[in-house]
Structure 1
Amino acid sequence: MGELLTVKTNTELKESDKAEIDRLIEQTIAWHSKNGAMIIKLTMDSVTALTASESRAKELAQQSFFKRAWNNLTGKNQKIRAQIDVDVSRVQYASQQMIQKLAEQNLLTFDLITAVNNKLNTLVLEIDEEFNQIYRVLGAFFKQTRSDVVQLENRLDKVERNLELLNWKATIEYQMYDGKEYAYLPDMEKIICIANDFLHKTKGIWSTTDLMLLKSTLAELGLSIKQSISARSFYQSLSEKPILIERLFDGISLDSLLAVEPYQAPVLKGIEKTLKLHSEEKYILESVKEQLHLAGVSCNERDIQLSLVHQYLKNHAYMNSDVEVNLFDFVVELLVDLNMIHTAVVIPEESGVENKKRKVAGDYDLSLIDMGENRLDVIEAVKNICEISLIEAKECINHVPSTILSRVTKKQANEARDILIAAGAKVIVKTYIENVHIVTALKDGYVKLKAQGNFVRVGEYVQKGTILAEISDVELTKPKPPSFLTGGVLSNHSKLRSTVSGKVSSLLVQNGEKVVQSQPIMVILIEA
């Protein structure tokens, strides 16, 4: 493995400081070497920090692995980490060493390196030539590392093959989506179906050989794997046919996507932004349209949406969505991003909350699902439970669902739960190994939870596709025609179906209650 770029900085680090940082890097990798999702995040954090300007690097230091992965350091180590947070020289050295040591331990896989290369190719470059030189050297390093990975795997004697994957490839031409065989789908729909299928067939664990099988599968379906594709064209297809987003995420919980920074998984964060512009951020789209209308400028809503997503990625993921990359490389990056959230083990951000959590070890987590109407009371409750400042408490609950307590005893979790419920919040207690899926309302209306066994109850195990509830346009007390007629759904009713398999943990609304779009309805503990 060749040496990575030696970053030139205005401040030369002392050898003792370098040694301290090296030890922290090694400790961090040891903690997370079995967590594929975290390895992806560490790599993306490091690459982004190395190619960033001074101001951007300082910002990244406050939110990347420097915060996430080193959140229980004390004493001298804590001092070194604090220096990293404010010194770009230390940021870049730590990032460089992280990449180098991940490569030395063979933790940079073919697919991850491909995703990094895509990131470098679509990066919004800085004006400073020094940073662009870093970018060029990084690109050469990762290309060489990917070649080394392929050669290493070719030398290994692997007789096992993924039989399920081989059978899938052999019958791929007969697979169907939306009433059409895969071979006759538009290119973007082929990519989406193949990516989701491959993820589930491999269960998120694949080799370079498996990826080469994927490559030949794409070619057999008529896709030119050497052609180029841009993220913007991908988002345009999703915007034109939003149901494709559901197909892409079929069987994949999006809960952990909230904990992913835009620059770590830019393709998925662009999709997330697309979804938000159709729901809670639709007002942004409407505001732009209104201003253009007042100015007498004709506009296309889809073009405005794509522009907003493009600017979001440019400013938060440092990505130019207009840049084209190789189609196969794009599919691999999409898989890396999907697998990051599909197999994620949630690692909470560092804060005063986390420091308090670690004082007592247990097997239970307390998660805040909805703050209710008394936001200030909930913030005060979190402050008292975690013994932190009001500012830290507010930051802790900025994004729900949010883990308030982690790895505490059941008694502690239940006591804190009662306090938060009294403050008007909706919370759940679960074991730390359980994943939570929040079922939300598809539209405004009245929720129907009971109908002679048609809907689920707390404690019931459900499969993907199970009808959970129904959202009606009219109050349940008013006369209306039956809504469960065979073969059809009435226009003023929407059946709420589960997108995951697991156990219904709790109901967050009452039968007949009026709800708004995206309001949490119930909680499902996802099967491992």
Structure 2
Amino acid sequence: MYELTLTEQNKVDAQLERKLEWARTHQLEAEQLALDATRLLSCTADRLEDYRNQGFFKRCWYSLSGKNGDMQRANQHDLLAMQQYSWRYINLLNERNILLAHSMITVKNNLLTLAIKEEETRNEIKRMAEKVYDRFVALEDRMHEVEVSTNIHRWLLTLDTLDYDERYTPYFRLLRIVNDFILLKDGNWSPQELRYLQKAVKEAGLPWKQPISIMNFVVGLINEINGSGQKRFEDLLRCKNGIILPASFILENISTPTYASLFSIVDNYSKSSNIIEILAQQLNCSKDHALKRVILNIVVKQGVDIKAQIPLRDLAIELLSCTSVSRQLFALSENESADSATSNSIEFQSVISNNIQPDGHQMEQLSEQAFELLPEVVNVITDDILATVFGDVSNMIDEYVENEEMEPEEFASYFSAEHVASLLEQGMEKAVSEILEQMASELGEDYSLEVDSKYITDSFRFAATKSMKPYLNSILVVEKAGATFLNAQPSTLASLTKGAGVGVAAAALLGPVGILAAMGANYLHDSVRVKSAENALDEFNACVESSLNAYDQMVSVLSQKTTELINSFMVYITQQLVNNHDVDKLGKFIIELKEAITEC
């Protein structure tokens, strides 16, 4: 699948040459991109829409595809080309000894856990993983005389006196060892030092050679959290300054499923605890079992084989590597956020305050900076708009719940696609008008924005009406299936959710899982009244699954449409500034874009 002709390979290698030179001086970002490249290999064309706005895909698109165009237009051919570039990038990093020792093990682990259906491709990837590990062994042979950190050496000699085998359960113990190690030395480990980490895993009484799957790791870890407590688990993930990195940052920036699953557990164990409980009721299982299913489902959607196994000693190196990379990237992003507004202001004000007429090259540089910022700014604006839009729909649901006298027939009319789309349009108009008002104050009256405002709201209304119908219809189907399950007349959503004891508005904001799980909980509670329960329950569950899919599709369509519309609008404004050679406003515009990203 990734094989290239000699001519094609030479062409790809030539285009990657600058990226490889960059990698030699940007080890942190190069390692991040190497992990992104491995993740990209498992992407399939049928899920291309799911990947577009994910961090790893965006980084590969702009760094490896050789394209600078609109990522939203990426197609199946583009995906295959990106995978071929990724394949060669990993190969060349390995062949030219650019990867650090710990990165080699992490890349090897990532390759071995990819979910690839085609046997030939699986074999190719396995051979690649073996080549990466062989390079690690060769590096180890060359550097066997490099002195090991004295702190690491002393720590290993006294490890057995710390009684970790008594104080920590197995997976907690593994995390504690990794955390200790990174406090002793936070990066640039030699192969020999990584062997010391593996020896520490052994000395702590863990089965260091035993292969372990991501599934067993997640399941075992959640079991230990239930026994030892969430706080103790979170303490093992804290940085030196006491903070835990945000799960959203890890999932966006680290393309390693095992490490990302740690923070998915943190996020779902706390923030989504109530929803997990509701889901557990709907699935008729324990909360920890529902949490395991949620976390593993997140991992599977990343194109990972959760049953693939790697030795525990190599998992330790992977966790160490990802901990180091994530903390460095987070520190870098924090520093950039703090400095960007000031540095950019100085840079542009030197042109603006002196009324210097920009030459063609200077204008080109400003133009490039503006267009490079647009994708991230568009994502920020899109998120804000969708939050506003769905907030209005949530208010509608609250209003419905308070009106307990509403009959099922009224429900169908009240939740019609046209009614909801109208509310969505109002939310869009509200959000867009705020953007336009801010733009107008920044750009002045020279730039016409009204036409774009109408185009955005009209286009969104059409997309909303079209995409809403399947989801809203599916809710009615679920309610009907639930009524069949109870062998009773359809009851209103309000009474169902009231019986299950869940806030509908809160559930709605988190998608149909909250609403439908609440309905399911109430149906199950009244299961004494069920006739032909097994078949009816199967039908109900199938309807719930269908509704979940309809909701996902609706959100995907609306998110994509909003992104396209806002992107079109922002490109239009930027192009006007460039065409008019308006360096003053273009400079201020770029500062505003960067500040918007920083504030987010």
Q: Is the 8 A contact 1:192 1:247 kept in 2?
A: no
Count of residue pairs brought into register by the alignment: 381
Correspondence for 2:30 among 19, 22, 39:
39
Instruction: Tell me, in whole angstroms, the C-alpha distance in 2 between the residues paired with 1:107 and 1:238.
Output: 38
Give a deviation string over 1:90-141, Cα, whole Å, max 9, x none.
1232122111111122123443333333334433332xxxx33222222122
1:248 aligns with 2:259: no
What residue number does 2:2 align with?
Answer: 7
What residue number does 2:369 align with?
Answer: 358
Instruction: Tell me, in whole angstroms, the C-alpha distance in 2 between the residues paired with 1:290 and 1:356.
Output: 54
> Partner amino acid for 2:90?
I
Of Structure 1 and Structure 2, the greater strand share is in 1
What residue number does 2:271 align with?
Answer: 280
> Partner amino acid for 1:358?
Q
Instruction: Tell me, in whole angstroms, the C-alpha distance in 1 between the residues paired with 2:595 and 2:138.
Output: 58
* TM-aligned CA distance change 1:380 to 1:133, over 3 Å: farther
* Aligned-residue identity in percent: 18
Q: Is the 8 A contact 1:253 1:341 kept in 2?
A: no
Higher mean displacement: 163-172 or 385-394:
385-394
**CA-CA distance at 1:211 after TM superposition:** 0.8
Q: Alpha carbon RMSD of aligned pairs, Å?
A: 4.8
What residue number does 1:312 align with?
Answer: 298
Instruction: Tell me, in whole angstroms, the C-alpha distance in 2 between the residues paired with 1:47 and 1:418.
Output: 30
What residue number does 2:147 align with?
Answer: 160
What is the DSSP-based 3-state SS (H/G/I as helix, E as strand, rest coil) of the residue aligned with 1:325? Answer: strand
Higher mean displacement: 22-31 or 220-229:
22-31
Instruction: Tell me, in whole angstroms, the C-alpha distance in 1 between the residues paired with 2:278 and 2:70.
Output: 46
1:191 aligns with 2:174: yes
**CA-CA distance at 1:169 after TM superposition:** 1.7
What residue number does 1:28 align with?
Answer: 19
Correspondence for 1:101 among 92, 100, 105:
92
Instruction: Tell me, in whole angstroms, the C-alpha distance in 2 between the residues paired with 1:24 and 1:259.
Output: 29
Q: Is the 8 A contact 1:49 1:60 kept in 2?
A: no
Based on CA coordinates, which of the two structures has the bigger radius of gyration?
Answer: 2
Higher mean displacement: 269-278 or 109-118:
109-118
What residue number does 2:408 align with?
Answer: none
**CA-CA distance at 1:13 after TM superposition:** 7.8
**CA-CA distance at 1:58 after TM superposition:** 7.7
Give a deviation string over 1:230-252, Cα, whole Å, max 9, x none.
32223432354312332222216
What residue number does 2:320 align with?
Answer: 335
> Partner amino acid for 2:231?
I
Q: Is the 8 A contact 1:273 1:309 kept in 2?
A: yes
Q: Is the 8 A contact 1:199 1:335 kept in 2?
A: yes
Correspondence for 1:258 among 224, 246, 249:
249
* TM-aligned CA distance change 1:336 to 1:379, over 3 Å: farther
Q: Is the 8 A contact 1:239 1:274 kept in 2?
A: no
What is the DSSP-based 3-state SS (H/G/I as helix, E as strand, rest coil) of the residue aligned with 2:310? Answer: strand
Q: TM-score, normalised by structure 2?
A: 0.52
What is the DSSP-based 3-state SS (H/G/I as helix, E as strand, rest coil) of the residue aligned with 2:115? Answer: coil
Q: How does 1:476-487 map to 2 (within 5 A)?
A: none
Give a deviation string over 1:343-376, Cα, whole Å, max 9, x none.
114499xxxxx99682599xxx99x999799966
* TM-aligned CA distance change 1:191 to 1:77, over 3 Å: closer
* TM-aligned CA distance change 1:92 to 1:427, over 3 Å: closer
What is the DSSP-based 3-state SS (H/G/I as helix, E as strand, rest coil) of the residue aligned with 1:343? Answer: helix
Q: Is the 8 A contact 2:171 2:224 kept in 1?
A: yes
What residue number does 1:224 align with?
Answer: 207
Higher mean displacement: 275-284 or 96-105:
275-284
What residue number does 1:115 align with?
Answer: 106
Instruction: Tell me, in whole angstroms, the C-alpha distance in 2 between the residues paired with 1:164 and 1:45.
Output: 33
* TM-aligned CA distance change 1:60 to 1:108, over 3 Å: farther
Q: Is the 8 A contact 1:257 1:341 kept in 2?
A: no
Structure 2, unpaired ranges of 5+: 337-364, 389-429, 457-561, 568-583
> Partner amino acid for 2:304?
M
Structure of higher RCO (CA pairs closer than 8 Å, 6+ residues apart): 2
Of Structure 1 and Structure 2, the greater helix share is in 2
Instruction: Tell me, in whole angstroms, the C-alpha distance in 1 between the residues paired with 2:591 and 2:33.
Output: 35
Higher mean displacement: 134-143 or 338-347:
338-347
What residue number does 1:236 align with?
Answer: 223
Q: Is the 8 A contact 2:52 2:71 kept in 1?
A: no
